[in-house]
């Protein structure tokens, strides 16, 4: 194990020596914010925090960023194996080499700070177990919602609460796309191209638009909120690629907005269904009057309900060089403060003590309870709506609102839009199969979940 920066000089603790893996957008932001605010950070941490070694495949570009005072290497193992490094900051991303390097850093007795939500959602249980065994920290505030300190809020600020649910806009790319579709009435493909041109979406936007990035983050939030292991493979994930401009328009007319939400909710079994935890990412109608519905552009917001505190919401930039760097450096300050504290009394990685993690299951989507927006393309004939409502009634699904469009001139078909009250997903699946089999229903139904978040 290293000395973890505990050397003394003039009665003061020596600097925390940091090795940085990857100096792209976030790494460069971390270096700049740490340089710019070094006096403020030193006063808060009780010692200086210095990046002393950087690993990046593009050595020349890295040297141009950090100058001559910082050692730059191409091989990341030159950082994780360096006995003079106290903390390794992993900003490489992905599941592969990042996992290997984080585990090697832990094995060498180094604390780890990471912004890698994919790594933690998929391999977090293994990483936290290794860190606990070695007596080091893995800090990951930057992994969820960029500069918004939601991890610290859940692990510490809300620790007295039994968390009931979390609902978050936790992917800025999809929120930008949905905001533009609503404001400008454009189709998904057109707005995606605009998002790519502006740099909000990657050249390959799959992780964002298919909901995978948000599901990684929701998995982490669920683990911290409910004291369960990371279970990304149990999450239900649905992206925004099938959303159509008319559904956003109809939702607006009904008093709702559509957002891609990461939702995790505790179910205690009082409704007759088995207890468990919902973990899902999908487009969601939410009432326009709710504060989270007004979160536009590339911004993030996380709404939490605790039994004691009630509703709290956390809003800010969910990505970008300096917002994410803010979270990375906050973790470095936390690590610096722990060097003089009892390792047994650190805040646990997942907020609950490791031996007290729950085996409460993640519920399959068929067991989730929510309300629904349904859009049906139907023949303009008498009795069509009556047939549909009869099938819903047979399935014990009650209707909250109906919007029936007049057919365009010369057309003999139209849209019927229904909002239901809350029901179990398996019941809506069964009912929709019967409805879609009606000869007057002309295409597969559009079905979007609806949450009131109260």
Q: Provide the greatest CA pair distance for the chain.
A: 89
Q: The domain containing residue 408 runs over which residues? A: 368-450
CB 87 within 8 A of CB 17: yes
Lookup result for tokens 């970008």? 320
Give, for 192, the enclosing helix (H) or strand (E): helix 188-198
Report pLDDT digits (tens) over 378-403.
999 999 999 999 999 999 999 999 99
The answer to whether position 363 is within a domain reads no
Residue 64, burial from CB neighbour count under 10 angstroms (0-12, 13-18, 19+) = exposed
* Domain at 374, CATH number: 3.30.70.260
Given 356, 381, 408, the domain boundary residue is 356
Q: Cα separation of 162 and 222, whole Å? A: 13
CB 174 within 8 A of CB 182: no
Q: Cα separation of 88 and 105, whole Å? A: 7
Question: According to the model, what pLDDT value does residue 1 have?
Answer: 40
The answer to whether position 1 is within a domain reads no
Lookup result for tokens 């638009």? 209
Report pLDDT digits (tens) over 273-304.
789 999 999 999 999 999 999 999 999 999 99
Same domain for 163 and 281, yes or no, is yes
Same domain for 418 and 313, yes or no, is no
Tokens of residue 425, six digits: 């997903």
Same domain for 47 and 121, yes or no, is yes
Question: According to the model, what pLDDT value does residue 317 have?
Answer: 92
Give, for 39, the enclosing helix (H) or strand (E): helix 38-45
The answer to whether position 362 is within a domain reads no
Residue 220, burial from CB neighbour count under 10 angstroms (0-12, 13-18, 19+) = buried
The answer to whether position 341 is within a domain reads yes
Give percent above pLDDT 90 in the chain: 85
Lookup result for tokens 């194996």? 81
Q: How confident is the model at residue 5 (pLDDT cuts 50, 70, 90)?
A: very low
Q: Cα separation of 210 and 174, whole Å? A: 9
Same domain for 376 and 419, yes or no, is yes
Same domain for 336 and 427, yes or no, is no
Report pLDDT digits (tens) over 308-323.
999 999 999 988 899 9
Same domain for 171 and 62, yes or no, is no
- Please name which of 445, 380, 387, 382 lies closest in space to residue 417, comparing C-alpha atoms: 445
Q: Cα separation of 122 and 124, whole Å? A: 6
Same domain for 339 and 255, yes or no, is no
Q: Cα separation of 215 and 282, whole Å? A: 9
Same domain for 236 and 310, yes or no, is yes
Question: According to the model, what pLDDT value does residue 316 have?
Answer: 95
Same domain for 240 and 167, yes or no, is yes
pLDDT over threshold 90, residue 204 = yes
CB 125 within 8 A of CB 354: no
Q: Cα separation of 160 and 162, whole Å? A: 7
CB 30 within 8 A of CB 38: no
CA 59-63-64 angle, 5° bins:
120
- Please name which of 283, 154, 280 lies closest in space to residue 218, comparing C-alpha atoms: 280
Question: According to the model, what pLDDT value does residue 25 have?
Answer: 92
The answer to whether position 342 is within a domain reads yes
Same domain for 156 and 292, yes or no, is yes
SS3 labels along 212-270: HHHHHHHHHHHHHHHCCCCCHHHCEECCCCCCCHHHHHHHHHCCEEEEEEEEEEEECCC
Q: How confident is the model at residue 345 (pLDDT cuts 50, 70, 90)?
A: low
- Please name which of 253, 454, 289 lies closest in space to residue 371, comparing C-alpha atoms: 454
β-partners of residue 416 are: 376, 404
pLDDT over threshold 70, residue 46 = yes
Q: pTM (2 decimals)?
A: 0.93
Candidates 217, 259, 305, 317; catalytic one: 217
Q: How confident is the model at residue 325 (pLDDT cuts 50, 70, 90)?
A: very high
pLDDT over threshold 50, residue 330 = yes
Given 257, 289, 317, the domain boundary residue is 317
Same domain for 345 and 408, yes or no, is no
pLDDT over threshold 90, residue 343 = no
- As a whole number, mean pLDDT of residues 230-243 equals 97
pLDDT over threshold 70, residue 9 = no
Question: According to the model, what pLDDT value does residue 341 have?
Answer: 66
The answer to whether position 3 is within a domain reads no
The answer to whether position 198 is within a domain reads yes
Question: According to the model, what pLDDT value does residue 8 have?
Answer: 36
- As a whole number, mean pLDDT of residues 17-35 equals 95
Question: According to the model, what pLDDT value does residue 394 have?
Answer: 96
Supply the mean pLDDT for the chain. Answer: 92
CB 90 within 8 A of CB 21: yes
Given 333, 356, 379, the domain boundary residue is 356
The total number of residues shown for the chain amounts to 454
CB 47 within 8 A of CB 37: no
Tokens of residue 410, six digits: 């010369």
Question: According to the model, what pLDDT value does residue 340 have?
Answer: 67
pLDDT over threshold 70, residue 349 = yes
* Domain at 70, CATH number: 3.40.50.720
Report pLDDT digits (tens) over 241-264.
999 999 999 999 999 999 999 999
The phi and psi torsions of 323 (rounded to 5 degrees) equal -60, -45
The answer to whether position 157 is within a domain reads yes
* Domain at 211, CATH number: 3.30.360.10
Same domain for 342 and 388, yes or no, is no
Question: According to the model, what pLDDT value does residue 359 have?
Answer: 87
Q: Specify the number of domains making up the chain.
A: 3
CB 88 within 8 A of CB 111: yes
Question: According to the model, what pLDDT value does residue 181 have?
Answer: 95
3-state DSSP: the chain helix, strand, coil percent, rounded to 5? 40, 25, 35
To the query of whether residue 217 is one of the catalytic residues in this protein, the response is: yes
């Amino acid at each position: 194990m290293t000395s973890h920066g505990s050397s003394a000089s003039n009665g003061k603790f020596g600097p925390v020596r940091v090795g940085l893996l990857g100096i792209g957008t976030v790494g460069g932001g971390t270096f700049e914010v740490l340089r710019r605010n070094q006096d403020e950070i030193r006063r808060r941490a009780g010692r200086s925090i210095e990046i002393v070694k950087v690993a990046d495949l593009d050595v020349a570009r890295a040297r141009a960023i950090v100058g001559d005072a910082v050692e730059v290497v191409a091989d990341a193992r030159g950082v994780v194996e360096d006995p003079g490094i106290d903390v390794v900051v992993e900003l490489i991303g992905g599941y592969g080499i990042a996992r290997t390097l984080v585990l090697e850093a832990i094995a060498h007795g180094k604390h780890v700070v990471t912004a890698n939500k994919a790594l933690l959602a998929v391999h977090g249980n293994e990483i936290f177990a290794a860190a606990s065994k070695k007596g080091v920290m893995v800090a990951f505030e930057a992994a969820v919602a960029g500069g918004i300190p939601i991890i610290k809020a859940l692990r510490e600020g809300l620790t007295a609460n039994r968390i009931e649910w979390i609902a978050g806009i936790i992917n800025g790319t999809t929120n930008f796309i949905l905001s533009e579709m609503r404001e400008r009435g454009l189709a998904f493909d057109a707005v995606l191209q605009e998002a790519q041109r502006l740099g909000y979406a990657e050249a390959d936007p799959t992780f964002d638009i298919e909901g995978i990035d948000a599901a990684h983050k929701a998995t982490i939030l669920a683990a911290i909120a409910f004291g369960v292991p990371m279970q990304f493979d149990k999450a239900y994930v649905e992206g925004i690629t099938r959303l159509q401009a008319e559904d956003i328009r109809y939702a607006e007319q009904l008093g709702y907005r559509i957002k891609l939400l990461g939702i995790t909710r505790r179910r205690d079994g009082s409704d007759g269904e088995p207890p468990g935890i919902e973990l899902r990412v999908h487009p969601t109608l939410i009432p326009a009057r709710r504060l989270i519905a007004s979160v536009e552009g590339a911004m993030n917001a996380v709404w939490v309900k605790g039994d004691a505190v009630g509703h709290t919401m956390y809003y800010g930039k969910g990505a970008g060089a300096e917002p994410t760097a803010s979270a990375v450096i906050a973790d470095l300050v936390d690590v610096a403060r722990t060097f003089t504290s009892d390792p047994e009394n650190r805040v646990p990685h997942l907020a609950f003590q490791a031996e007290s993690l729950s085996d409460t299951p993640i519920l399959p989507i068929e067991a989730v309870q929510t309300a629904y927006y349904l859009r049906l393309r139907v023949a303009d004939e008498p009795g069509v709506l009556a047939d549909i409502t009869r099938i819903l009634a047979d399935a014990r699904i009650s209707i909250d609102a109906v919007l029936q469009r007049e057919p365009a001139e010369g057309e003999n078909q139209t849209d019927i839009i229904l909002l239901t009250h809350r029901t179990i997903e398996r019941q809506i699946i069964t009912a929709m199969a019967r409805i879609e089999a009606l000869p007057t229903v002309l295409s597969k139904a559009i079905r979007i979940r609806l949450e009131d978040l109260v």
